Structure 1
């Protein structure tokens, strides 16, 4: 739905705001797990077709985070060109609400806060991985595949999930 491929061969990834922001925020050595993971697509490190899903709410949350960084005197580019032929900005609309309605009171999903429910629901209905730095998604790890980039803060340990 919403332009997301539904073939079994395509690996799909829902990016939450924390992971998208991490692409723009490297550590002192210039490394960020979000940027490394995103770059692995173009470098061919992750084999096979892929598709990135950016929930529309993340676009607004990301811009608000950039504005906050600017107010705090930090430099961060506002422009962010991640939408390509292998991605979509996923609308938050009536169709999504209808498709997710049975998830709202399910264990784990009913404990999520704020927009996290949107990210988790999209990952579930699109059979996608959820890419995040938010530990709160451990609540739904039995229902969706969560890539916790916290485990890759020093090196790309997430790659172990995709080794053949």
Structure 2
């Protein structure tokens, strides 16, 4: 199993994602988002989106980028950036799940899984939308698991598009000052 792990592209993708997330987190700790927006102007928008995607696909928190987007760009543009960042990250994680399915022959493992687990409705829209409402891990589980389970890309995309709306609205609204996050 260890040999298979080191031969798999999934392993190296995960290591790369962790490294990128750590670099982005470190960079953000040294730079004020409002300051780089003031310095870069409109060019800060793709930087913000890239940072959001990198953090959202890694285990590092991306909620702060969504909140900062609301504070810096206002609710409308901040929402669009947050939703787009989480959507792109979700598609990347779905692809990582698909890659892991191939690298680790997960289909065979799923066939040997307990009956109750095989009946778990990973491809059901209620699961695909609802799991994203679980704080911290919901976005990751709701993207990687469907990819690894063989959920169709079309169903995944529309459920993801809907499922990330509440978090995008909430975090961007907090940043834009529409919701007082202290109470």
Using the size of structure 2 for normalisation, the TM-score is 0.26
Asked which structure has the greater RCO (Cα within 8 Å, sep 6+), the reply is 1
Structure that is richer in strand per residue: 1
